[in-house]
Structure 1
Amino acid sequence: MARTVGIGHQDFERLITSNNFYIDKTGFIKEWWESGDIVTLIARPRRFGKTLNMSMTEQFFSVRYVGRGELFEGFSIWKEEKYRELQGTYPVIFLSFAGVKETSFTEARKSICRTIEEQYNKCGFLTEGNLLNEKEKAFYQEVSTDMPDSTAAASLRSLSDFLGRYYGKRAIILLDEYDTPMQEAYVNGYWDELTEFIRALFNSTFKTNPYLERAIMTGITRVSKESVFSDLNNLKVVTTTSREYAESFGFTEEEVFGALDEFGLSAQRQDVKTWYDGFTFGSVTDIYNPWSIINYLDTQELRPYWANSSANSLVRNLIREGNQEIKKSFERLLSGEHLITPVDEQIVYNQLDSNEMAIWSLLLASGYLKVIRYEEYGGGFDGVKEPDYELALTNLEVRMMFCSMVKGWFQGNASDYNSFIKALLLGDLDAMNDYMNSVAQTMFSSFDTGKNPSKSQPERFYHGFVLGLMVELRGRYMLTSNQESGFGRYDVMLEPVHTGDDAILMEFKVFQPRREKELSDTVNAALKQIEDRKYSALLTAKGIPEERIRKYGFAFRGKEVLIGAADETINGQ
């Protein structure tokens, strides 16, 4: 009989005692302990079992769970006598920054301090008797939501000291989702203040702490060393390309197929693989997201679960507000192509606005991209360069998430945008102009929000618009942009999937006041370029006759748009 599937379990004890579905990941405890690393940072995408594994690790080692070996009976860790003897023998400090999602530094700082204060409240017994002297007891009472920076920085180091004295063993510190406040700080504009505060806390807790036995930090990203880990030279970093702990977070294909057999879903293996497979950790391929699999076992319906389990606001903004090169690369990914780019797995948040490599690094760390292959370090004029990665969208679930995201860009004026699509398919030029101007008026600023926005440059809007076409017309047209045909590169080509539809070519141009008197002149220049450079050559080579190829010139002047067709005369306005 199949076990009960429980959704949202993050507490190991509760999951096991309720006999819910669980795939044994206790081998992580042995691998970590035998690594000998003092401080381990593990970066994995969200919803990959990080919190559950941290809870499992706490309950295995913590003196609060001494004598609770039944939680681990039947699992791999309990098969070895020496690990049975380790269970329940260490003081453990287990914190999570998952809830630190404030919009200001003041509130974020309070939230972090409150999390630390909660650990002190759980250990109030330390102030009883003579274990602490009067100064130490006064320090203990000083730890609060509003404690000074110096007290906050020393708080976890001091608590590990106090616990070590009480139990006669150095403390284990577990910090889950360490980078959540940093992502919020970047989005909400208080990055510098937060990183200064976090740097002092981490340095005292993880570097200059003689009372620390071992520590684990988990998060989505490996934040740059310069940001918060300066001088933390005892840090072992495990990213998605590292070989360590490759099977400890996420489900392997063998584990997923075993679960499908247990629930009588063996016939659905290929569909489940198409939807949810695609993650690679180290050299281990075919890793599945646990959140999606568990939800599928519960509902037995193929839907996007993991991709829709968070607001994804940072990713959405980076792509929508990114420059034309980012959008062009994203177009290729959305159409199923691969992207080859250098990737630095050390995320530099303050470069996300300007460094394309930083954005792909974030998308890879977040699980939205998968590594097809990558090169080792080498090359470059000085003999060293970042390795090139071949990247693709992870799976169907992620592709559907991004399609929904692109649709969301036009949600505020979805009626106008959908009407434009209908007018385009019908070849109704007047309606196309009416609707396109309505769309542009509403959406232009949304796609032109870079550090130096220019209302005379439509690149961000144009590429967001192209992505919208790609999503809305998929299945009916194959859309490509900036590809070679004839004697140049066209802007947009819509190649029909069915023989009954016309092919469509689009060229976009910005009004040039020195060369053009009217916006109609810009339209005519765009149409002339389509003809002169024979952009239709690729389509005619595929057997599409010229009379079935519609050609449109789009002219932009600020938020004003004029569209003309090759078979119509565009007169001055």
Structure 2
Amino acid sequence: MVNYMSTKEAAALWGIGDRQVANLCKNGDIPGAVKQGRSWMIPADAKKPADKRIKTGEYIQSAKPATLPLPIGISDYRLASSSYYYIDKTLMIKDFLDERPMVSLFTRPRRFGKTLNMDMLRVFFEKSEEDTSAYFKNKKIWACGKYYRDFQGKYPVIYVTFKDVKCDSWEDTYDLICQILRNEVQRHRELLNSDRISTYDKKYLEEVLEGSASESDMAMVFLNLSRMLHTHYETAPIIIIDEYDTPIQQGHTLGYYDKVIGFMRNLFSGGLKDNPHLSFGFLTGILRVAKESIFSGLNNITINSILDNKYSSYFGFTPDEVKEMASYYGVPEKYDEICEWYDGYRFGKSEIFNPWSVINYFNSGCEPKAFWLSTGSNEIIGEVIAQADQDIYEKLTSLVSGKTIVSYVDTSVIYPQIKQNPSAIYSFLLVAGYLNAVKVDSSFGDDYMCELALPNKEISFVYRKEILQKLNNIIPQSTVIAVQEAIYSGDGQRIQKLIHDLLLQSVSCFDTVGENFYHGFMLGLCTMLSGSYTTSNRESGEGRYDIQILPKTPVLPGILIELKAEKHCSQEKLEQLAGTALEQINSRKYEVDMVARGVSVIFKYGVAFSGKNVVVAVG
């Protein structure tokens, strides 16, 4: 016969509240518990369920394989640090504790370790019934001294991540955000049984958990939950919000930007602005979004952007860390290739590699690919191209050709500015990881004048793919493939015919041909041929040519294009203009630069267009 005990007896035995025991029974966490009337009866030999917030030692293993597996997609610090190859970033905790700002915002590109670092902070600081120091005793932070160790496991923590909130509508976005908030409230269900929490507050928590709370009540979850945790534990909690701007970016892309901004503003302000029940706050994201007043009046926030030196080495891998990793996996000779593909970022004064791509590179047998391309939306590049004017086309052309540009950078750029302010494009591309600041000359408050470039081969591939997709109406994919085949096979005559046909086809894509055609065509050519050619429009010989397509090896043919345009031209006039353009290439000796570089075969095109009509003279 089974002996039972009441919830009150179990509560006394386990040292927790009567209501908490009842909730454990209700949630099926106590095997064998049965309900009799309104009361739960629990097997007398039942064991107290483990604290689900953190289970110390869950991933600690006594024996480890000779070579640790790679942490692909692992954002759980306990698992990553104990069962996978883990690059120790725990000194980030020391740097924080040395300064202890009230609220810290870290802005970094996607897949640069933000979520893993935030979970590391959670595990380090969170108060738990178990001893979580096991995950730090062999890490750098533990060797820093007793002062830092005394912070470990001392705070209640509110932790949410919005990294997967990528919905098509505001309604679905709101539902998913509410579910994330409910899950966090459920993680702190000990409050429902606390003698220190009022009946009114417990009712609020129950409404949140049941899904019956209003939108305004959901917007107060951070404020109310932090207040109750402070009351229950007599220690103000830490609030950690990971990837806070993912729903905002999605809202911008899909047209519900204002709605998501309105809700997030109330949610964050309640938890972070003048909240007496807050010890510290941490946020991560791609953008700062300060100008949206999403952190309106929040004067206790410290911004740590990619241009700041603080914390610069904690997101992404440093050269020494990559060298050590390559040696560990037995391929130290691959370091130069890793640099070529995945290095090139500079955060503050630190040289940084893309961690996601480096890990996947080792996992794929050291075969270089554009791993970062598939980790999120690159639609912003398409939006840039759609809004591009002459200056943007020229700068994108320079970037894809491997050159640098100089631009003013506003680190608090916001999504709507991409359409409203063309200069904001480069700021966004920089903070989102599509550009690198080669040189930062000066600061204007929070803004900078930067020399910008594409970081590496991987990002160059991303640009080429996105640009070609957006310019597909100018340069069909079939033509791209045909031109590339002709280049790699060294078939000069086929290249000549394809470029000739391409010029004829491209002009017909525009209702009114003008500068947009010229720059769009040039950008498309640059993108299409960037593996074997560079393009430019600068002075050579006795003048400035329109387009030069210079082969990277003199074995391939060079290409010069001169454009002429007039309105309402007859066919005869167009033929004359095309001849004049071709003659200009010859008379002004535009080919001297190529000849000096050893290029022996040079194709010359004089192109005249009027509306959708075009004539190409070949020399």
TMscore range, shorter length: 0.7 to 0.9
Question: Within the alignment, does 1:22 sit opposite 2:78 as a pair?
Answer: no
**1:330 CA displacement:** 1.1
The 3-state SS of whatever aligns with 1:352 is helix
Partner of 2:361: 296
1:395 alignment partner, one of 456, 473, 477: 456
Letter of the structure 2 residue corresponding to residue 426 of structure 1: Q
Pairing 1:92-491 to 2, within 5 Å after superposition: 92-143=157-208, 147-284=213-350, 286-321=351-386, 322-377=388-443, 386-409=447-470, 413-419=476-482, 425-426=492-493, 455-457=511-513, 459-474=515-530, 476-480=532-536, 482-485=537-540, 489-491=544-546
3-state SS of the aligned residue for 2:373? coil
Identify which of 539, 546, 552 aligns with 2:606.
552
Deviation at residue 305 of structure 1 after TM alignment:
4.4
Give, in whole Å, the separation in 2 of the partners of 1:485 and 1:16.
57
Letter in 1 for 2:616: G
Amino acid at match of 1:388: M
TM-score by length of 2: 0.80
Give the AA of the match of 2:186: N
Task: Provide, for residues 215-262 of structure 1, a one-character-per-residue CA deviation record: whole Å limited to 9, x for no partner.
Answer: 100011222333412211111000011111111111111111111122
Deviation at 1:495, TM superposition (A): 3.0
Q: Per-residue deviation at 1:418? A: 4.2
> Structure 1 residues 421-430 or 350-359, which shifts more?
421-430
CA distance in 2, matches of 1:217, 1:73: 26
Secondary structure of residue in 1 paired with 2:562: strand
Secondary structure in structure 2 of the residue aligned to 1:319: helix
What amino acid sits opposite 2:398 in the alignment?
A: R
Question: Which residue identity lines up with residue 506 of structure 1 in the other structure?
Answer: I
1:301 CA displacement: 1.5
Cα 1:194/1:535, change in 2 over 3 Å = farther
1:493 alignment partner in structure 2: 548
The aligned counterpart of 2:46 is none
Most deviating of 455-464 and 210-219: 455-464
Residue 617 of structure 2 is matched in structure 1 by: 565
**C-alpha separation between the residues in 2 aligned to 1:440 and 1:434?**
10
Structure number, greater radius of gyration: 2
2:342 touches 2:456 (CA, 8 Å); kept in 1?
A: yes
* Structure 2: runs of 5 or more not aligned: 1-65
**Contact 1:456 1:510 (C-alpha < 8 Å) held by counterparts:** no
8 Å contact from structure 1 (residues 66, 88) kept in 2:
no
**8 A Cα contact 2:93 2:121, kept in partner:** yes
- Per-residue Cα deviation, 1:513-563 (whole angstroms, up to 9, x for no partner): 3xx345x63564355255458685331355379994412305252xx3524
Scaled by the length of structure 1, what TM-score is found? 0.86
Measured in 1, the distance between the counterparts of 2:427 and 2:70 equals: 34
Mapped to 2, the partners of 1:353 and 1:113 lie a distance apart of: 31
Deviations 1:169-220 (A, max 9, x none): 0010000001111111111122222212211222111103111110100011
Preserved CA contact (<8 Å) 1:477 1:495:
yes
> Aligned residue for 1:537?
589
Q: Give, in whole Å, the separation in 2 of the partners of 1:280 and 1:40.
A: 20
Q: Is 1:45 the equivalent of 2:109?
A: yes
Equivalent residue for 1:570? none
Deviates more, 1:392-401 or 1:498-507: 498-507
What letter is aligned with 1:537? K
Letter in 1 for 2:567: Q
Give the direction of change, closer, same or farther, for the CA distance of 1:40–1:530 in structure 2 (3 Å limit).
farther
> Which whole-Å CA distance do the structure 2 matches of 1:478 and 1:490 have between them?
14
1:346 CA displacement = 0.8
Aligned alpha-carbon RMSD (Å)? 3.0
For 1:563 and 1:336, the matched residues in 2 are separated by 31
**Could you list the per-position Cα deviations for residues 323-355 of structure 1 after superposition, in whole angstroms to 9, with x for gaps in the alignment?**
232121011111111111111111122110142
- Report how far residue 126 of structure 1 moved: 1.2
SS of residue paired to 1:555: strand
What one-letter code is carried by the residue in structure 2 that aligns with 1:562?
Answer: V
**Counterpart residue number, 2:123:** 59
Contact 2:542 2:588 (C-alpha < 8 Å) held by counterparts = no
Aligned partner of residue 592 in structure 2, secondary structure? helix
Counterpart code for 1:159: L
Return the offset for 1:64: 3.2
1:39–1:215 CA contact under 8 A, matched in 2: yes
Count of residues in Structure 1 that have an aligned counterpart in Structure 2: 543
User: SS where residue 442 of structure 2 aligns?
Assistant: coil
Q: In the superposition, relative to structure 1, how do residues 264 and 416 fare at CA in structure 2: closer, same or farther (>3 Å)?
A: closer
On the 8 A contact 2:577/2:608 being kept in 1, the answer is no
- Distance (whole Å) between structure 2 residues aligned to residue 385 and residue 62 of structure 1: 33
